[in-house]
């Protein structure tokens, strides 16, 4: 029902995927991937005798650049971009999105993400929670699933759910890891989204990082366990003030204690690209500080 296009992010396989759906009359992609991977996306489409101009619809799980950075280029070729209401304005006018990313990635912006340009509002379709899109002979259902980001959608097509990042990271035979970046990581919302996924009538999750998961219950159990473990790690710290020290310590924890000892270094590299551990430090610390302020 779908074909995986491996975008070979930063030269490594199984880090970021884009998913091609045959609509009978037309074609859709779930996730555009970053614009830095555009040549790999073009090659992946070519393998199916398609070009970017053949893509009619792009279904974004959220607007983070590893998922949506090339959406503008597909829109320029004629695709309609389907996105969460809270994300739409940031792909129509990406100034704030780019500024935020530059603060994080600094001089690595271009090599990681490539070009980022605005998408005309006429090419953007805002999708509400539970909305059903009838595209060709397929019906796709948008499930708003916050926690990783407030503007997150998991897309259901028949018995398959494309989970973006709310389904976590699982590469090859590795573990399940939660990407918890700033500024919108929110544990309670994420746990509610996992509960929502458990209640859907689906047989397969498809993770952007990376690929199909069929043991859904076990996978979500491990995701919940990892979320609790990462948050608990920071809750145990006497102070959350020095992010540089926390980042250094958390990176050591991930590589020495979270990743299993038998995990190959090449697989660790794939995980670190798909879900940089340092990104989660600021996300979890910000979440804990806001939670404590409410208390």
Residues comprising the chain, all counted: 295
DSSP letters of 178-225? Answer: ----TTT--HHHHHHHHHHHHTS--SEEEETTTEEE--HHHHHHHHHH
Round to whole Å and give the CA distance between 142 and 105.
30
**Tens digits of per-residue pLDDT, 242-280?**
999 999 999 999 999 999 988 999 999 999 999 999 999
* Structural domains of the chain sorted by starting position, each given as residue range(s) with its CATH number in brackets: 2-222 (3.60.15.10)
d(CA 63, CA 66): 8
196 and 143 Cβ atoms separated by less than 8 Å: yes
In angstroms, the Cα distances linking 285 to 20, 176, 186, 241, 248 are 36, 21, 11, 9, 14
Give the pLDDT score at 294.
63
The answer, yes or no, to whether the previous bond of 52 is cis (omega within 30 of 0) is: no
Q: What are phi and psi of 21, to 5 degrees?
A: -120, 125
* Per-residue confidence (pLDDT) for residue 174, from 0 to 100: 93
- Interatomic CA distance for residues 118 and 200, integer angstroms: 34
Q: What is the DSSP string of 66-122?
A: HHHTTHHHHHHTTPEEEE-HHHHHHHHSTHHHHHHHHHHHGGGHHHHH-------GG
Residue where the block lists tokens 């974004």: 60
Q: Are 87 and 63 in contact (CB under 8 A)?
A: yes
pLDDT along the chain (295 residues), means of 10: 96 97 97 98 98 98 97 98 97 90 84 94 98 97 97 97 98 95 94 98 97 97 98 95 94 94 92 94 94 71
| Residue of 161, 153, 195, 170 lying closest to 270 (CA atoms) | 170
> What's the pLDDT score for residue 103?
81
> Parallel, antiparallel, or unpaired: how do β-strands 204-207 and 160-164 relate?
parallel
C-alpha distances out from residue 147 to 108, 113, 140, 168, 180, Å: 26, 23, 22, 11, 8
């Amino acid at each position: 029902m779908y074909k995986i296009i491996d975008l070979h992010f930063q030269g490594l396989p199984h880090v970021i995927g884009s998913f091609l759906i045959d609509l009978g009359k037309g074609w859709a992609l779930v996730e555009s991937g970053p614009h830095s991977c555009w040549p790999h996306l073009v090659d992946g489409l070519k393998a199916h005798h398609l070009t970017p101009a053949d893509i009619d619809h792009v279904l974004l799980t959220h607007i983070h650049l590893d998922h949506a950075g090339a959406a503008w280029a597909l829109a320029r070729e004629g695709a309609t971009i389907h996105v969460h209401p809270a994300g739409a304005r940031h792909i129509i006018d990406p100034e704030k999105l780019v500024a935020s990313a530059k603060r994080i990635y600094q001089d690595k912006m271009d090599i990681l993400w490539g070009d980022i340009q605005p998408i005309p509002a006429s090419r953007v379709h805002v999708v509400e929670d539970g909305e059903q899109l009838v595209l060709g002979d397929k019906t796709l259902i948008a499930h708003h699933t916050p926690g990783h980001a407030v503007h997150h959608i998991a897309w259901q097509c028949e018995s398959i759910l494309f989970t973006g990042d709310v389904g976590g990271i699982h590469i090859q035979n590795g573990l399940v890891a939660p990407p918890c970046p700033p500024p919108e990581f929110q544990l309670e919302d994420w746990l509610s989204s996992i509960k929502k996924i458990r209640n859907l009538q689906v047989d397969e999750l498809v993770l952007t990082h990376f690929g199909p998961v069929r043991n859904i219950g076990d996978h979500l159990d491990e995701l919940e366990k990892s979320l609790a473990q990462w948050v608990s790690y920071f809750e145990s710290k006497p102070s959350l003030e020095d992010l540089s020290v926390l980042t250094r310590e958390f990176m050591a924890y991930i590589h020495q204690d979270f990743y299993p000892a038998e995990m190959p270094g090449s697989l660790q590299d794939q995980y670190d690209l798909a879900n940089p551990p340092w990104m989660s430090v600021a996300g979890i610390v910000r979440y804990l500080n806001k939670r404590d302020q409410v208390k």
